[in-house]
Amino acid sequence: MKAHLSRRYRFSASHRLHSEQMSDAENRAIYGKCNNPYGHGHNYVLEVTVSGQVDPNGMVCNLVDLDESVNREVLSRFDIENLNMRPEFADSVPTTENLCTVIFDLLNQDILKRKFTQAHLERVRLEETMMNSFEYSGD
């Protein structure tokens, strides 16, 4: 029996949407108020969904293991940080779309490396505001 498990986490981070490959005028035209030179912050809600067979203990995966992975790979890295200063965004603009793909890749690598679960990372969903959310399920 295959089941899905989704778990939610919260973190806060700031960013400025700005590309060094474009002029200031182009950046303002594309990113609008999100190009504010002082940046701005969000209280993100991250939803991580894994799937797999229900094990003999009745679980898709152990929540303690999933929480440890998210804490280690995401929260300790991005909470209360300026995303523009993070090496993960040295070559890209820290849009929430890009942040979502980075988080997926970090968690997927950690789950595969540690083999703490037979579960498969299905997707990550990142809520930036009450009106904006982004999902990524891998390539």
CATH code assigned at 37: 3.30.479.10
28-59 confidence digits (pLDDT tens): 999 999 999 999 999 999 999 999 999 888 99
> Average per-residue pLDDT in the chain?
95
d(CA 11, CA 37): 22
Domains of the chain: total? 1
Decide if 124 contacts 100 (C-beta within 8 A). yes
Give 94: exposed, middle or buried? Use CB within 10 Å, 0-12, 13-18, 19+. buried
- Inform me whether the pLDDT recorded for 116 exceeds 80: no
pLDDT at 92: 97
pLDDT band with cut points at 50, 70 and 90 for residue 115: confident
Q: Tell if the pTM clears 0.85, that is, is over it.
A: yes
d(CA 29, CA 27): 5
Structural domain that includes position 75 = 2-136
């603009």: which residue's tokens?
93
